[in-house]
Amino acid sequence: MATKILKKPATFYDTYERNPSDDKKMPHYCPGCGHGIVHKMIAEALEDFGVGDRTIFISPVGCSVFAYYYFSTGNIQAAHGRAPAVATGIKRTHPKGIVISYQGDGDLAAIGTAEILHAANRGEHITVFFVNNAIYGMTGGQMAPTTLVGQKTTTSPLGRRPSNEGYPIKVAELISQLHAPVYVERVALYDNPHRAKARNAIRKAIKCQVDKLGFSLVEILSTCPSGWKMDPVDSMHWVKETMEEFFPLGVYRDHTNEMEPYEPEVLNLDADEISRVLDIAGKSSFKYERKEVTVKYKNPEIKIAGFGGQGVLLLGAAMAQAGMLENYHVSWLPSYGPEMRGGTANCHVNIRDIAVGSPMVSEPSVLIAMNRPSLEKFEHEVKPGGLIIYDASLIDIEPNRKDIEVLAIPATKIADELGNTRIANMVIFGAYMGYSGLMNKTTVYESLKSAIKHKRFMDINLKAVDAGYNFGIQKQTI
């Protein structure tokens, strides 16, 4: 006899480890919110269709911005309203991926109207789930593009007035008037029969993409008890009795039976052909042979941090440039405040044998700390067995951890002796390369031609690299 097993789909995490709160089992949504129901319907469909491992879930600004806490899929966050544009780029570069854009009414129907209209008009092969609760839920209950006439919000305390704010936007009707969309439906969640219909619509929209048929959108009327100032039961009645009257449920477009599966054209161009088309034959920027690198120093994921004005970003850019010269896959991601001096700055650098999946470095194998706050803040992030390099001239403490390698270099002191405090970053660059053996010194020299904008500073920066390089080699041999 078969045994019934009740469990979450494998595409939905059992424990929400990405959630920074102490409770790893409780989602962040308010009681009575519809997002949790929709999430589980999507996760169930992804598992049933066997596409979870190739799904990319895009969550822009809104109550569902933390959807990546829950979905065991690829996850990308997008700027406010830009999810369809991001989804377009992802789908075109990964045509076999199942790309889902999950958006609310304050996102899709307001700041994101241009993106959703053009993505739908182009017939992008993506699936869009549009959760319409007629209010800005995350930011305190302001009027949204779908707020009903007469509905009171914090920014329409007298109720929405068509003469002043216009009428609510009917997204399903609007999208269905375009030529390209294949499937458009509006559903609701206020009782079990309608949840069953919503489940079917969600599955059909995802299956539309699995079968390579084209663009699909499901608008889901959902509750927002907190924003509406109602209890969950009353909010479900309000959807049925008030929202549904203005936003009729039903299928607005269904061409799934008429469409043939679309196979995107794949251009297989070799490197020589690409060079010929771009007219860069014989102009390769890969100039130097790689060194044999000790395994523990290969493929570094580097975080560089310090004060603004210490050349943190320049150091990272120079490292990435050097990596390109030796034909590594590289990325450089800067982060800095508005201050010209005295603020904080850090950057993330990847130098890898294989393609870089994400430019973000959350667990660095190498931390370069140019001031004490950076060492104290980021030491715990370094992977066990990783390397911490710090400026011993400015930092009067040592790392506490015993499971890492440490290179303390008096970079600022060396820079002062060379005649310019500001070249301490290049002293560290040279020291890291000399200590790890990651790249040739000639490669580092060449990278500075792009990194150093004022050529009159080139000589002193080269001297800084030399001094650091010699220091690093000396420390490695001790």
Q: DSSP string spanning 314-329?
A: HHHHHHHHHHHHTT-E
Domain that holds residue 395: 295-477
Residue 73 is part of a domain; what is its CATH number?
3.40.50.970
Based on the fold, state whether residues 193 and 306 are members of the same structural domain. Answer: no
Q: Looking at the predicted structure, is the pLDDT value of residue 285 above 70?
A: no
Whole-number pLDDT of residue 269: 74
* Position 107 in a domain: yes
412: CATH = 3.40.920.10
Query: Of 205, 228, 254, which residue sits at a domain end?
Result: 254
- Do 234 and 376 lie in a common domain? no
Per-residue pLDDT averaged across 295-301, rounded? 96
Same domain, 300 and 246: no
* Boundary (domain end) residue, out of 227, 254, 281: 254
Contacts for 238 with CB less than 8 Å, ≥ 6 apart: 223, 228, 230
Q: What is the pLDDT of residue 53?
A: 97
Q: Per-residue pLDDT tens for 390-404?
A: 999 999 999 999 999
Residues 58 and 194 in one domain: yes
Q: Where are the beta strands (DSSP E) in 42-195?
A: 55-59, 74-77, 98-104, 127-132, 183-188
pLDDT at 279: 78
Structure confidence by residue, pLDDT tens digits, 172-207:
999 999 999 999 999 999 999 999 999 999 999 999
122 to each of 50, 83, 88, 458, how far by Cα in Å? 27, 15, 10, 50
Q: What is the pLDDT of residues 216-225, one digit of tens each?
A: 999 999 999 9
Number of domains in the chain: 2
User: Per the domain annotation, does 423 fall within a domain?
Assistant: yes
Residue-wise pLDDT tens digits, 48-77:
999 999 999 999 999 999 999 999 999 999
Summarize the confidence of residues 261-278 as an average pLDDT.
80
The answer to whether residue 450 is domain-embedded is yes
User: What is the Cα–Cα distance from 190 to 223, expressed in whole angstroms?
Assistant: 8
> If 0-12 CB within 10 Å is exposed, 13-18 middle and 19+ buried, where does residue 231 land?
exposed
145-168 tens-digit pLDDT: 999 999 999 999 999 999 999 999
Same domain as 299, residue 229: no
18-32, 137-151, 333-347, 453-467: lowest mean pLDDT where? 333-347
If asked whether residues 167 and 302 sit together in one domain, one would say no
Is residue 333 helix, strand or coil? strand
430 and 343 part of one domain = yes
- Final residue belonging to a domain, choices 254, 278, 308: 254
Same domain, 42 and 126: yes
Residue 272 counted as domain residue? no
Q: Give pLDDT, residue 174.
A: 98
% pLDDT > 90, the chain: 84
Q: Examine residue 393 and state whether it is found in any structural domain, yes or no.
A: yes
CA triplet 29, 32, 37: central angle to 5 degrees? 75
Is residue 259 assigned to a domain? Answer: no
- How many Å is the Cα radius of gyration of the chain? 27
What is the distance, to the nearest Å, from the Cα of residue 434 to the centroid of all Cα atoms in its chain?
A: 34
CB within 8 A of 200, min separation 6: which ones?
none
- Indicate the pLDDT class of residue 339, thresholds 50, 70 and 90: very low
Does 267 reside within a domain? Answer: no
Strand partners, 344: 307
In a domain, 184, yes or no: yes
Mean pLDDT of all residues belonging to the chain: 93
| DSSP letters spanning 348-414 | EEEEESS--S-S--SS-SEEEESSHHHHHHHGGGSPTT-EEEEETTT--S----SSSEEEEE-HHHH
Residue 282 confidence (pLDDT): 58
pLDDT at 217: 99
Per-residue pLDDT reduced to its tens digit, 233-260: 999 999 999 999 999 999 999 999 999 9
